[in-house]
Amino acid sequence: MRIEEDIKLDYADVLLRPKRSTLTSRKEVVLERTFRFYHSPKQWTGVPIMTANMATCGTFEMARVLAPHKIITTFHKYYKQAEYQKFFETFNNPNFVVYTLGMRDEDITQLKAMSEAGLLNNFSFICLDVPNGYLEKFLETIKLIRALAPEHIIIAGNVATNEMTEEIILSGADIVKVGIGPGSACTTRRMTGVGYPQLSAVIECADAAHGISNTKGCGLVIADGGQQYPSCIAKAFCAGADFNMSGSLFSGFDESAGKLVEKDGKKYKEYFGSSSNKALLEFYGKKEAHRASEGRYVLMPYKGSVASFIQDLFGSLRSTGTYIGAKTLKEFSKRATFIRVNKQLTTYLENFDQDN
């Protein structure tokens, strides 16, 4: 047994120090980035924000609204080939959609079938998503996917530590998904005791990924989960995240899946973890006897179309850039100085309702 004494931090444990700036307007802050990759020969330009690959927000409806804003939709794992076939009859924007799969035999079978049918050409990205990215089989599956899709931008996760980030990139992924336990619908930390405070995980994994480079590009990371507010997305970019992935921030909208529920005169939409009892029963028909649920079911206040949120999100990111003197998203991490804050302030921010 060993104890690490270093203090590890979450988004709520820090604020950003304002800095002298030559910017004259928020409009000047550029949110688009262009990336090249360690393995894939592709180049990608867009706003590096994506929905989680969850049943509630990784939907076709979401992609139709987000793609024109150059935001990525990471589809959930439960769409079947025939559904993709139909969707791509009326959607053609590969840079802003991700095909997600897990490690089960059926997942690999569908990936191969999608490839043979030419459907994978509709995606620039493929995401291998597992709750625990520390398994030997996970690395083997990354190698298999890289062999099947040599040109695609491959995302793989989730992990929360530097040494596994490096292994994942060296095994064939371009982007590592970082986050064990920060998700709002996740109960892994409570059920298993395993996790890593997310801001520190992002800082340490980004540092490891960026250290692996060749003439084309370097390893990249996605900060996945735990962003309760747009400010958390800004903090993740400041911590070195190349992309941000969020589930709850993209839920509760018309374009999110899940039932619309009315309770005490207010409207809500369902949001549930991918390992919740609801997801396991709905998508796999059963919860196997050896596993416990590691996800929650919550009702999110209904918020209309996601388009209005995009405007707020872009506005707040531009405002962060103006405060810290960063003209581009790339500069966020260079300009950022985090200040640790006390628990009282954290609690205050968590209880603050923006509309009151």
* Interface with ligand 5GP, residue 179, by CB under 6 A: yes
State in angstroms the smallest separation of the CB of 337 from ligand 5GP. Answer: 25
The dihedral through the CA atoms of 37, 39, 43, 45 has a sign that is negative
Q: Is 186 a catalytic residue?
A: yes
CB atoms within 10 A of CB 206: 25
Q: Running DSSP on this structure, what letter comes out for residue 225?
A: S
Task: Find the binding residues for ligand 5GP in span 139-168 (CB under 6 A).
Answer: 158
- Residue from 154, 185, 202, 257 that binds ligand 5GP (CB under 6 A)? 185
State in angstroms the smallest separation of the CB of 129 from ligand 5GP. Answer: 7
- Residue appearing with tokens 């444990």: 13
* Interface with ligand 5GP, residue 100, by CB under 6 A: no
CA atoms within 13 A on the CB side of 325: 10
**Residue placing its CB nearer to ligand 5GP in the complex, 40 or 51:** 51
**Residue in 74, 141, 165, 188 annotated catalytic:** 188
Q: Is 205 a catalytic residue?
A: no
Residues 6+ apart with CB under 8 A from 160: 178, 179, 180, 181, 195, 196, 198, 201, 205
Task: Find the binding residues for ligand 5GP in span 46-75 (CB under 6 A).
Answer: 52, 54
Distances (CA, A) of 170 to 155, 211, 220: 13, 12, 12
# of chain residues touching ligand 5GP (CB under 6 A): 24
Burial class (CB in 10 A: 0-12, 13-18, 19+), 239: buried
Distances (CA, A) of 172 to 28, 74, 136, 162, 238: 36, 19, 14, 16, 26
Phi, psi for 164 (deg, rounded to 5): -75, -30
Site string for ligand 5GP, 273-312 (x = CB under 6 A): xxxx-----------------xx-----------------
**Residue in 186, 205, 232, 238 annotated catalytic:** 186
State in angstroms the smallest separation of the CB of 274 from ligand 5GP. Answer: 4
State in angstroms the smallest separation of the CB of 177 from ligand 5GP. Answer: 7
* Active-site annotation, residues: 186, 188
Q: What does the binding site for ligand 5GP look like in residue numbers (CB under 6 A)?
A: 52, 54, 131, 158, 179, 183-186, 188, 224-227, 245-248, 273-276, 294-295
